[in-house]
Amino acid sequence: MSRAAIFAKIESATSSIKEKAAYPDYDLSIVHSLPKLKGEDLWDIFVHNFSYVNGKAMTSIEQLSAFLLETKQLHGYCDPALYDTIGSKLAAAGLTVETEYHRDRYDEYQFGVTRATGAIAESGSVIIDDDRTSHRLAALSPWVHVAVLERSEILRTIPDAIAVFGDSPNIIWCTGPSKTADVEGILIEGVHGPGEQIALLV
């Protein structure tokens, strides 16, 4: 069966679902975790928790370009909507930046710069979805993923993030780099996705 036929069957099977199921009721006092950092600044809380899962938070394009040059991640993709503000500055620093992602050349892209839908402070998670992310594979296949977000898009808790789910068919929460401990309980990063997860605040 072809890929198109498989997706056609899935679409026909789900097209009758007109409304989403209601979210289950739960006691918010039970599910809210206590922030590991005192204060009200959600970026500070996010950065603290993001660093615990080996994420890298950055606040300048100069910091990002220095990291990419130092780690020799020299060729990547940038969302066309972000090229003027971010991609052009990376190119000026000596990096090769493309604004069109080619699936057949996925292994050539060492970094991907895409929009994030938001972030969750209490878990140190970056949120990406198909509505805001220009190319999902560009966020998941390069060794370095740079999720670009604004301060107003940071949510305090996981229930806050669930409450503002949009209609995107794919919503992904990235809590640090890709990791697995399937083999003998040994934690390995960068197996099923990026080995470096960066959150860039603009």
Model pLDDT for residues 96-130, shown as the tens digit of each residue: 999 999 999 999 999 999 999 999 999 999 999 98
Return the structure tokens found at 30: 């039970």
Query: How many of the other CB atoms lie within 10 Å of CB of 19?
Result: 5
Return the structure tokens found at 4: 């198109």
Spell out the domains of the chain, with CATH numbers in brackets.
Answer: 37-201 (3.40.50.10420)
pTM for the full predicted model = 0.83
Q: What count of residues does the chain have?
A: 202
Return the structure tokens found at 178: 């890709």
- pLDDT single digits (tens) 14-46: 766 667 777 777 777 776 665 555 667 999 999
Lowest mean pLDDT among 79-93, 94-108, 127-141: 127-141
Q: Write out the H or E segment, with its range, that includes residue 69.
A: helix 61-70
